[in-house]
C-alpha cells in the first residue's frame, strides 16, 4: 500500500511538471504557427492532453480481449466528457474563486471576462453530438459502425471552424523552459520541449491510472466502479492541471478554452473508436452518466450564453459528479 501511494504521488507530480512544460511550449508553438491564444487552447493544448485517454479507449475497444475490456473502453469514452464537464470545470471555478478572494472581491458577484460566444458555441456542438451518440446507444442496426466516421468528420469541421475564426494576438510569453535565455526560441527547441512533455504526460498518466486502480483493489472497490469513477479522474488530470496553471497565470480564457476543446475531442474521437469496434449499447450506468453530462453541459451552455460566468457559478457543476458517484455506489 505504501509503495502504491508513493507511486501515486510521484506520477501526479511528474504530470504536473510535464504540464508546466507543455503549457509553456504549446504557447510558443501556437505563436510559431500563427494561431491565436484561444485556438492554441482549444486545438493544440486540448489535442495533446487528450492523447492518453484517446489511446486508452482505442486499445481497450480495438485490442482488448473479451467484452470486459471493451466495456471499460466504452465507459472511458462516456466518463471522460462527464469528468471534464463536472470536476474539471468545477475545479476551475474554485480556482477563480480563490483568485477573487485574494483580490478582496466577492466570489458570488465578480464576473469572468471570456469569449462567451465561442465557449457557448462549443457547448452547443457538444450537446448535439452527445445526444446523437446517446441515441445510438439505445438502438441496434447493421450500419451503426459507419456512424463513427461522422464523429471524426464533426471534429474535423470543428478544427476548421476554429482555424477560420478571428485569432487574438498572443500576449507576452514566458521564456521557453528548455531555452530560458533565448528571447525567441527556435522551432526545434519548441518542438523538442513539446514532445518531451507529451511523452512524460502519456507515460505518467498510464502509471497514475494503474496506481488508482490498485488503490481501488486494495480498498475492496469493484473494478467496474474504479473504471467509471476513479480512472476517468486520473486520465483527465492533464487537462485539469493545464487549466489550473493558466488560471494561476491570470489567463482564464485559455484555461476555459483548453477544457472546452478537450470536451470536443472527447465527444468525437473516443466515441468514434467505440462505435467502430463495439456494439455501442448502453446499460443503466452509462445512461446515468450520459444524463449527468447532458445536464452539466446544458448548465454550462446557459452560463456562457448569458455571459453570467463567475467562479462560484462554475464551481456548482462539480456537485453533479458527486450525484453520479452516489447513484453508481447505490
Which of 122 and 205 is assigned the larger pLDDT? 122
Lowest-pLDDT range, 97-106, 181-190, 266-275, 277-286? 97-106
Model confidence at 299, pLDDT cuts 50, 70, 90, reads very high
Model confidence at 107, pLDDT cuts 50, 70, 90, reads low
Residue 192: pLDDT over 90:
yes
Residue 209: pLDDT over 70:
no
Average pLDDT for residues 269-289, to the nearest whole number?
87
DSSP states of 244-255: HHHHHTT-HHHH
Residue 167: pLDDT over 60:
no
Give the whole-angstrom CA distance, residue 42 versus residue 246: 13
Residue 199: pLDDT over 90:
no
Report the first-to-last Cα separation within the chain, whole angstroms.
27
Q: What is the tens place of the pLDDT at every residue in 251-260?
A: 888 888 888 8
pLDDT of residue 153: 92
pLDDT of residue 61: 74
Residue 50: pLDDT over 80:
no
37: nearest Cα among 249, 190, 248, 253? 253
Write out the three cell numbers for 88.
Answer: 474539471
Q: What is the tens place of the pLDDT at every residue in 121-151?
A: 889 888 988 889 899 889 888 888 888 999 9
What mean pLDDT value characterizes the chain?
Answer: 81
pLDDT of residue 222: 61
pLDDT of residue 320: 92
Model confidence at 86, pLDDT cuts 50, 70, 90, reads very high
Give the whole-angstrom CA distance, residue 291 versus residue 84: 14
Residue 169: pLDDT over 60:
no
Average pLDDT for residues 3-10, to the nearest whole number?
82
| Cβ atoms within 10 Å of 112's Cβ, excluding its own | 23
Model confidence at 64, pLDDT cuts 50, 70, 90, reads low
Residue 224: pLDDT over 60:
no
Residue found under cell 471570456: 114
Which of 193 and 109 is assigned the larger pLDDT? 193
Average pLDDT for residues 15-37, to the nearest whole number?
81
Question: Helix and strand tally (H, E) in the chain?
Answer: 15, 0
Which of 51 and 250 is assigned the larger pLDDT? 250
| Cβ atoms within 10 Å of 238's Cβ, excluding its own | 30
Amino acid at each position: 500500500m505504501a509503495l502504491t501511494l508513493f507511486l501515486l504521488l510521484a506520477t501526479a507530480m511528474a504530470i504536473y511538471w510535464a504540464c508546466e512544460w507543455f503549457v509553456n511550449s504549446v504557447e510558443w508553438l501556437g505563436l510559431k504557427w500563427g494561431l491565436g491564444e484561444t485556438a492554441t487552447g482549444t486545438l493544440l493544448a486540448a489535442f495533446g492532453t487528450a492523447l492518453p485517454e484517446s489511446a486508452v479507449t482505442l486499445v481497450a475497444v480495438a485490442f482488448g480481449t473479451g467484452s470486459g475490456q471493451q466495456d471499460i473502453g466504452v465507459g472511458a469514452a462516456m466518463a471522460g466528457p462527464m469528468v471534464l464537464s463536472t470536476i474539471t470545470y468545477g475545479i476551475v471555478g474554485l480556482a477563480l474563486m480563490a483568485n477573487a478572494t485574494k483580490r478582496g472581491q466577492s466570489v458570488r458577484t465578480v464576473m469572468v471576462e471570456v469569449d462567451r460566444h465561442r465557449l457557448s458555441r462549443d457547448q452547443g456542438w457538444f450537446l448535439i453530438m452527445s445526444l446523437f451518440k446517446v441515441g445510438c446507444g439505445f438502438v441496434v442496426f447493421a450500419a451503426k459502425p459507419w456512424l463513427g466516421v461522422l464523429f471524426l468528420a464533426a471534429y474535423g469541421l470543428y478544427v476548421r471552424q476554429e482555424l477560420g475564426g478571428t485569432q487574438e494576438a498572443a500576449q507576452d510569453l514566458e521564456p521557453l523552459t528548455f531555452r530560458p535565455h533565448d528571447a525567441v526560441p527556435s522551432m526545434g527547441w519548441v518542438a523538442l520541449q513539446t514532445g518531451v512533455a507529451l511523452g512524460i504526460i502519456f507515460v505518467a498518466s498510464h502509471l497514475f491510472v494503474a496506481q488508482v486502480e490498485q488503490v481501488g483493489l486494495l480498498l475492496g472497490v469493484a473494478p467496474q466502479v474504479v473504471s467509471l469513477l476513479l480512472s476517468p479522474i486520473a486520465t483527465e488530470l492533464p487537462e485539469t492541471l493545464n487549466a489550473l496553471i493558466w488560471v494561476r497565470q491570470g489567463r482564464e480564457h485559455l484555461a476555459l478554452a483548453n477544457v472546452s476543446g478537450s470536451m470536443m475531442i472527447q465527444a468525437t474521437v473516443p466515441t468514434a473508436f467505440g462505435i467502430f469496434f463495439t456494439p455501442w449499447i448502453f446499460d443503466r450506468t452509462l445512461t446515468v452518466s450520459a444524463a449527468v453530462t447532458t445536464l452539466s453541459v446544458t448548465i454550462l451552455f446557459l452560463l456562457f450564453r448569458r455571459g453570467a460566468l463567475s467562479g462560484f457559478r462554475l464551481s456548482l457543476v462539480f456537485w453533479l459528479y458527486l450525484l453520479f458517484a452516489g447513484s453508481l455506489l447505490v
